Structure 1
Amino acid sequence: MKFSELPLNDQVLDALEAMRFEECTPIQEKSIPVILDGKDLIAVAQTGTGKTAAYLLPILNKLSEEEHPEDAINCIIMAPTRELAQQIDQQMEGFSYFMPVSSVAVYGGNDGILFEQQKKGLTLGADVVIATPGRLIAHLSLGYVDLSRVSYFILDEADRMLDMGFYDDIMQIAKYLPKERQTIMFSATMPAKIQQLAQSILNNPVEVKLSVSKPADKIIQAAYICYENQKLGIIRDLFAEQTPERVIIFASSKLKVKEVTKALKHMKLNVGEMHSDLEQAQREEVMYAFKAGKINILVATDIVARGIDIDDIRLVINYDVPHDCEDYVHRIGRTARANNDGVAITFVSEKEQSNFKVIENFLERDIYKIPVPATLGEAPEYKPRTNENHKRNGNGKKGGGKKSNRRNGKKEAKKPF
């Protein structure tokens, strides 16, 4: 469907034409009419499906057509990270080019001038406020922010906000809002805690759910079936001869990120870490160094799996198997972008085998198993405990081990990059 077929006004369509946007994505096609209708919405869609435009376009349409107070905050958009708030703000500037709609991005940082700029935008009544939960609450606590006339409350990447511990903050912010409002929630996944949040703040919402798409074909996917204590050894072997530029290693927790980073530094690798314990200024510094090539390897939690635009990631390593298929797709989707090739490698310990099998079933393929380097000793067999165990992968083949690892005492597998 073309945007021109939707009931969007000329100002919005002119902006889309100037930006050379013609065709709607599926999430835009399904969400925009619901939002224009004034109904609450919960939409489940991956990053990269065009969800930001799916809510910005209809909200801008309503702000430019319907009567809203000029001196009030009319729309609040919540985002989990500063980076995503900045990206939404940039898209907002493009889409609102032909209409008199004001916006301010409100996020953390140590810059006092930035805080004052945010305060000014909030007190004057910007039409749209794009904010991270913690920084908005900081401004609210000082008493000069009036949210009593907000018409639209939008939560972007709601599941990520809850993963980062923002549930109480969101509920606190919601108390400042009028009950008569339109609430819109976008999430990549739909766990129980998201359903609980939706029941708390949405009113009879329409649900739009897109199935998770498969990873790009140009991503080379592989796995090591290994013991937990072999994972660092595999990394050492992978990077023994050369370190590919721009590698992201995803780990399951902040503690694991810190441990892996420390171990890689001992290996004399050029590595940085990214997790929610870092101050905003530290996170910006690390991301800048990674983008600039001053850091080759970034060890991170899923906080950076979404919304970070770096087009030349050549290798993604899942140090731990992701919790669900959506997270797997988001993680490995950091590579093979902008027509580049990329490699995604997952380390699968014994207790992670069943979870990895679920991912293989979702992908409808068996991911190639690279034999563990012979120098690290015997590896476990791949025997995931699932009902499909004997149908597809329960054939007794080893993911590693002495027999499959050695050929005349030399490593059998070629490195995938």
Structure 2
Amino acid sequence: MGYKQATPVQAQAIPFILESKDLIACAQTGTGKTAAFLVPTLSKITEAKYDFTSTLILVPTRELAKQIDDQVEGLSYFTGATSIAIYGGNNAQNWDQQKKALTSGADIIIATPGRLIAHMQMGYVKLDQVKYLILDEADKMLDMGFMDDLNKIISQLPKERQTLMFSATMPPKIRTFAKQILQEPEEISLSISKPAANIDQRIYLVYDNQKLRVLQHILKHAEIQTMILFTSRKNAVNDIVRSLQKMGFDAEGISSDRTQDEREATLQRFRNKQLQVLVATDVMSRGIDVEGISHVVNFDVPQDAEDYVHRIGRTARAATSGVAITFVNEQDQERLVKIEKLIERELPKLPLPEGVGEGPTFDPVGNSKRGGNRGRGGAPAGRGGRSEGGRPEGRRREVLGSGSRDNNRRRDAKPRSEKPAGEITEGSAPRPPRTEGQPQAPRVEGEEVKRKKKRRKKPAAPKAAEGGQTTTATPTSSAE
């Protein structure tokens, strides 16, 4: 497997695990946490020769489950230990394969919480003899909202067990959770929330409409082996991929919207160096080990400062070096300040390439009060301010969608106040939305109000309008 010397987290964790002590270990990504819990656990399984499922490993993402399963296969080659990865996004055939493995009793189950519970509800999953419970990337599981699922699974496990919790960060919620499920644990903390020292971190202060042009300049002039580009919005992945392909780069994307087979195929091409750029959401930021990633680009600043550490931790792994580039628009400058506070260093803000134009000034407090410039120049890459992945017309769609829903609610609801028909002025009462690009037909004075009243009230005899004319229902437009 290529292991020659134990990493610090391995050297400290393995003795505690072999002594059957509960453990909470915190270490940054890329430090060998997976082997730290697999090596001693496999050793104990081999010695005991269990004939039931003895080990349950819970992880936040499908990719991490698959990767740990592959690690088990390599490390257990001469032990005879068996494992099965349980995760969603598969077809019926894979569900049947998972069911068969669960009923036959693999030594180790590696699972995402939601998928495991789906199998548990079918009644054939037996976890009443589990000896070892391992939670990997525990902080990410809590961030993703798995707390209830985790508690439900743990409630089905024996009280007498060894529990190991591995995490890249140690927020208060992790410590609270650890107290609930661990018994007198040993604790290991190594370089909490600090990026590797050999990552060259660079910041570009940009407007959203400048991001793609700066990215094009970087790709053209940097010696890039392979690169991961992160965006916080999964609906922006395809747009960025298309833009990169138009620039002539081999790029593909991974997000939770794609099937597991598609994600695995894309990731395998990336590992095989058949892709130069992989565009991904934070599904790729935790635990995924791909060798030789020279660059990481944050197309937007992640919401949590810790996620910045995980993202850039995809490069400079195993004592190599790497470059991490982050685009920061006006609204994200406050998040950058939090990142700098977390990693305890100020990051260099580089000038924009020639021909791109001036970027925003670095004024986190002022930009926060002003609410940012909302994507200067109305560019497609960020028209809506938080259009973090450069989705064209993202803001416009959002506004139109919410407005239509609001108008529908108002149209069906009772008006806030009744006014004489003759006193209706434009804007004083909600009007039905008109189809985009189509002018709204002029209404007869008082007509719209009476039509709404007729819809709201029980059927009644027609009421004469001013001038003695009886109002008649007009055909509704397609927008209504």
Is the TM value for this pair above 0.5? yes
- Residue number in structure 1 paired with 2:41: 59
- Which residue number in structure 2 is paired with residue 303 of structure 1? 283
Indicate if the aligned counterparts of 1:225 and 1:380 stay in contact, CA closer than 8 A.
yes
Separation in 2 of the partners of 1:304 and 1:293?
Answer: 17
Matched, 1:205 2:185: yes
Query: Given the alignment, which residue of 125, 129, 139 partners 1:149?
Result: 129
Choose from 183, 202, 218 the match for 1:222.
202
Write the deviation string for residues 362-414 of structure 1: whole angstroms up to 9, x where unpaired. 6565443321245443223334569xxxxxxxxxxxxxxxxxxxxxxxxxxxx
Which of residues 81, 94, 102 in structure 1 aligns to 2:82? 102
- Where does 1:107-126 land on structure 2 (aligned, <5 Å)? 107-126=87-106
Is structure 2 residue 350 aligned with structure 1 residue 378? no
Shift of 1:177: 1.4
How far did residue 56 of structure 1 move?
1.9
The counterpart of 1:83, out of the listed 63, 69, 92, is: 63
> What is the distance in 2 between the residues matched to 1:46 and 1:234?
30
Look up the SS of the partner of 2:332 in the other structure: helix
In 2 relative to 1, CA 30–335 (structure 1 residues): closer, same or farther, beyond 3 Å?
A: closer
> Displacement, 1:291?
3.7
Residue by residue, what CA displacement relative to the aligned partner does 1:156-201 show, whole Å, maximum 9, x if unpaired? 1112223334333322222321222222111111224433432443
Q: CA deviation at 1:346?
A: 1.2
- Relative to 1, partners in 2 of residues 1:278 and 1:332: Cα closer, same or farther, differing over 3 Å? same
- Secondary structure at 1:89's aligned position in 2? helix
**Cα distance change on mapping 1:291 and 1:55 into 2, 3 Å:** closer
The equivalent position to 1:185 in structure 2, one of 165, 190, 214, is: 165
Deviation, 1:77, is 0.8
* 2:30 counterpart letter in structure 1: G
What is the Cα deviation at residue 329 of structure 1? Answer: 3.5
1:166 corresponds in structure 2 to: 146
Tell me by how many angstroms 1:211 deviates.
Answer: 1.5
Gaps of 5+ in 2: 367-480
After superposition, the C-alpha distances for 1:76-118 in whole angstroms (9 at most, x for unaligned) are 1112233322332233234334445333333345355443333
SS of 1:282's equivalent in the other structure is: helix
Q: How does 1:201-350 map to 2 (within 5 A)?
A: 201-212=181-192, 215-216=195-196, 218-239=198-219, 244=224, 246-257=226-237, 260-261=240-241, 264=244, 270-292=250-272, 295-323=275-303, 326-337=306-317, 342-350=322-330
2:53 corresponds to: 73
Aligned CA distance change for structure 1 residues 346 and 277 (closer, same or farther; 3 Å): same
Q: Is 1:261–1:273's contact at 8 Å kept on the other side of the alignment?
A: yes
Match of 2:6 among 20, 24, 35: 24
Instruction: Determine the structure 1 residue equivalent to 2:31.
Output: 49
Deviation at 1:222, TM superposition (A): 1.9
Render the CA deviation track for 1:253-309: whole Å, top value 9, x for unaligned: 434545544655676754322222332123123323434555432221222123333
User: What are the equivalent positions in structure 2 for 1:381-392 lying under 5 Å apart?
Assistant: 381-383=361-363
Separation (CA, whole Å) in 2 of partners of 1:61 and 1:244: 40
Structure 1 unaligned segments of length 5 or more: list them. 1-18, 387-417
332-341 or 317-326: bigger deviation:
332-341
For residues 214 and 340 of structure 1, what CA distance do their matches in structure 2 show? 16
From the superposition, tell whether residues 44 and 215 of structure 1 become closer, same or farther in structure 2 (CA, over 3 Å): closer
TM (norm. structure 2) is: 0.66
Give CA-to-partner distance per residue, 1:5-41, whole Å, 9 cap, x none.
xxxxxxxxxxxxxx56453322123222332333322
- Give the conservation status (yes or no) of the 8 Å contact 2:28–2:195: no
Matched, 1:93 2:63: no
Partner Cα separation in structure 2 for residue 154 and residue 208 of structure 1: 15
TM-score, normalization: structure 1?
0.75
Amino acid corresponding to residue 222 of structure 1 in structure 2: R
In the alignment, the residues of structure 2 paired with residue 163 and residue 261 of structure 1 have an alpha-carbon distance, to the nearest angstrom, of: 27
In structure 2, distance between residues paired with 1:190 and 1:360: 18
C-alpha spacing 1:225/1:81, structure 2 compared with 1 (3 Å): same
Using the TM superposition, give the Cα deviation of residue 242 of structure 1 relative to its aligned residue in structure 2, in angstroms.
Answer: 8.9
Work out the number of aligned pairs and report it.
Answer: 366
Aligned-partner Cα distance in 1 for 2:321–2:41:
37
Deviates more, 1:360-369 or 1:192-201: 360-369
- 8 Å CA contact retained: 1:212, 1:326: no
Cα offset for 1:50? 1.8
Q: 1:323 to 1:110 in 2, by over 3 A?
A: closer
Residue range with higher mean Cα deviation, 21-30 or 238-247: 238-247
Name the CA distance, whole Å, in 2 between partners of 1:203 and 1:265.
53
> 1:124 offset after TM fit, Å?
2.1
Note closer, same or farther for the CA distance 1:245–1:278 as it changes in structure 2 (3 Å cut).
Answer: same
Which amino acid in the other structure matches residue 350 of structure 1? E
> Contact conserved, 1:223 with 1:369, CA < 8 A, in 2?
yes
The Cα shift of 1:249 comes to 1.2
Structure 1 pair 35–348 and aligned structure 2 pair: CA distance change class (3 A) = same
